[in-house]
């Protein structure tokens, strides 16, 4: 296969007009020939910046070299030393800001397609039944992990590899956190990818108990004092949605993005005969401009609606990944930029029938450094919609902090933890979105990894 050293080997995708009507994965990934060809573009730098850009420090040149030589199993074992979820990360990590953003190849040409190669290696390992290596000896100590999102799964997997007995307690009926309830099937297949990587983590000896809400079914104090756990890791995420506080938000047809996506992804509302159906909307306004807004908008589109993203700043301020915005536009989503909702309108039966917005313009930069949107007086207008999805961010649920003695939280309700995840409570560690507020899969994994090391040091004293 001929390779242009300055350009990424292109990746196949479903055509926009086809994928806008289905929930199949948009990106089809590399085959072996393409992945090996892409690997030949690696400069094999003496001081690889890509590794520094990766929050879990994958030996990227190591796995790329093995891939280049066609040793896919070796490439997988190199990755799995650092990452428990490579097929997930290869699909959803913001590589352009991390490993690929630091790739030296990217200075003159296009950076190496590290995410797509990682995805190929992980998919190949899964299809060939290659598993990560489990611990050979046991430590005889027990750790409880709260939450089965990427942070909890990573912490649990790393502790199991070190020989600890690990139990994950998960509030929902399915493990995976945002990977199963938030990120849509068309970006991250659940059965094919997420469930298989979770099976690998279970294969390391991790026990997962679903339908257990820590703070209600059992408390952290009970886990430590009565259930014999030696340490606890809190990876409970930031799943509490924010609303705008404008009139009409309690009308029928107003959803938080989390609820809308959970109904579709976790409860499979998009499938015929689903037990928890979702509204078949004609015209939807999604409020917000981040990745969650893009996922909600693209899901509503696939469910048959005309979709408008309403965002109060301009195109260059959209916080979503450029790739997500590009895909959304290709699929036919309309962007109503510099517009802010001021009221949701309803009919006499309490159903949404419109959203009143006001035009905005950009003023002076605010504390975040972005130009502050200000209202244009007298510019109110109405968009006729039957559904409004609020995608304005989330914060941690205060249930755990309010039921655990001596666990400090900050004013944003995030658990306070030091750089290794240690909280104000002895033997209790925390990380991921529960500590940082809504962030990314790989940062949550990095926090789980760091905390696993710190828990091991604490329990080895």
Binding site for ligand FAD (CB under 6 A): 92-94, 146-152, 169-172, 177-178, 182-183, 213-215, 235-237, 239, 261, 291-292, 295, 397, 399-400, 432-434, 438-442, 444
CA distance 227 to 318: 47
Residue 77 or 401 having the CB closest to ligand FAD: 401
CB of 346 to ligand FAD, least distance (A): 26
CA distance 96 to 93: 9
CB of 258 to ligand FAD, least distance (A): 6
Residue 92 or 193 having the CB closest to ligand FAD: 92
Q: In the structure encoding, which two tokens stand for residue 40, read together?
A: 């030949």
Residues 6 or more apart in contact with residue 52 via CB below 8 angstroms: 102
Residue 292 or 325 having the CB closest to ligand FAD: 292
CB of 182 to ligand FAD, least distance (A): 3
DSSP label of 148: -
Residue 288 or 354 having the CB closest to ligand FAD: 288
Residue 342 or 420 having the CB closest to ligand FAD: 420
CB of 15 to ligand FAD, least distance (A): 22
CB of 25 to ligand FAD, least distance (A): 13
CB of 171 to ligand FAD, least distance (A): 4
CA distance 105 to 109: 6
CA distance 147 to 214: 9
List the one residue out of 275, 283, 279, 282 whose CA is nearest residue 252: 279
Nearest-Å Rg of the Cα atoms of the chain is: 23
HEC string for 373-436: EEECCCCCEEECCCEEEECCCEECCCHHHHHCCCCCECCCCCECECCCCEECCCCEEECCHHHH
Residue 292 or 357 having the CB closest to ligand FAD: 292
Residue 340 or 397 having the CB closest to ligand FAD: 397
CA distance 171 to 236: 9
Residue 188 or 338 having the CB closest to ligand FAD: 188
CB of 187 to ligand FAD, least distance (A): 7
Residues 445 and 93: beta-carbon distance below 8 Å: no
Q: Where are the alpha helices (DSSP H) in 71-194?
A: 72-82, 86-92, 99-102, 105-108, 114-127, 150-161, 178-181
CB of 425 to ligand FAD, least distance (A): 15
């Amino acid at each position: 296969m001929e390779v242009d050293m300055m350009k990424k080997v292109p990746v196949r995708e479903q055509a926009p007009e086809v994928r806008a009507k289905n929930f199949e994965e948009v990106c089809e990934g590399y085959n072996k020939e393409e992945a090996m060809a892409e690997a030949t573009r690696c400069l094999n730098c003496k001081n690889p910046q890509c590794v520094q850009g990766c929050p879990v420090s994958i030996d990227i040149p190591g796995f790329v070299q093995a891939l280049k030589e066609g040793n896919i199993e070796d490439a997988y074992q190199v990755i799995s030393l650092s990452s428990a979820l490579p097929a997930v990360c290869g699909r959803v990590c913001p590589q352009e800001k991390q490993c690929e953003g630091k790739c030296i190849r990217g200075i003159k040409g296009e950076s190496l397609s590290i995410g797509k190669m990682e995805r190929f290696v992980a998919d190949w390992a899964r299809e060939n039944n290659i598993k990560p290596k489990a611990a050979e000896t046991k430590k005889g100590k027990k750790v409880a992990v709260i939450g089965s999102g990427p942070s909890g799964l990573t912490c649990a997997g790393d502790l199991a590899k070190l020989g600890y007995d690990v139990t994950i307690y998960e509030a929902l009926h399915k493990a995976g956190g945002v990977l199963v309830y938030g990120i849509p099937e068309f970006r991250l297949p659940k059965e094919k990818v997420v469930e298989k990587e979770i099976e690998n983590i279970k294969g390391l000896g991790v026990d997962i108990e679903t339908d257990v809400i820590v703070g209600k079914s059992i408390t952290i104090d009970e886990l430590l004092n009565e259930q014999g756990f030696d340490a606890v890791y809190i990876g409970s995420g930031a799943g509490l949605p924010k609303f705008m506080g404008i009139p009409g938000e309690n009308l029928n047809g107003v959803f938080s993005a989390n609820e809308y996506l959970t109904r579709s992804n976790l409860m499979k509302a998009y499938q015929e005969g689903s037990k928890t159906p979702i509204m078949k909307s004609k015209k939807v306004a999604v409020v917000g401009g981040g990745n969650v807004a893009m996922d909600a908008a693209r899901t509503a589109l696939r469910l048959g609606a005309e979709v408008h993203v309403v965002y109060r700043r301009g195109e260059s301020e959209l916080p979503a990944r450029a790739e997500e915005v590009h895909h959304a536009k290709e699929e036919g989503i309309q962007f109503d930029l510099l517009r802010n909702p001021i009221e949701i309108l309803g009919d006499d039966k309490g159903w949404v029938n419109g959203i009143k917005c006001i035009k905005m313009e950009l003023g002076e930069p605010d504390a975040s450094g972005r130009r502050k949107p200000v209202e244009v007086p007298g510019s109110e207008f109405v968009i006729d919609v039957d559904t409004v999805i609020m995608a304005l961010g989330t914060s941690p649920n205060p249930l755990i902090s309010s039921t655990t003695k001596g666990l400090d939280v900050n004013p944003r309700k995030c658990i306070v933890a030091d750089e290794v995840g240690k909280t104000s409570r002895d033997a209790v560690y925390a990380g991921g979105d529960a500590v940082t507020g809504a962030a990314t899969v790989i940062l949550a994994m990095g926090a789980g990894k760091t905390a696993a090391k710190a828990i091991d040091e604490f329990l080895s004293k």
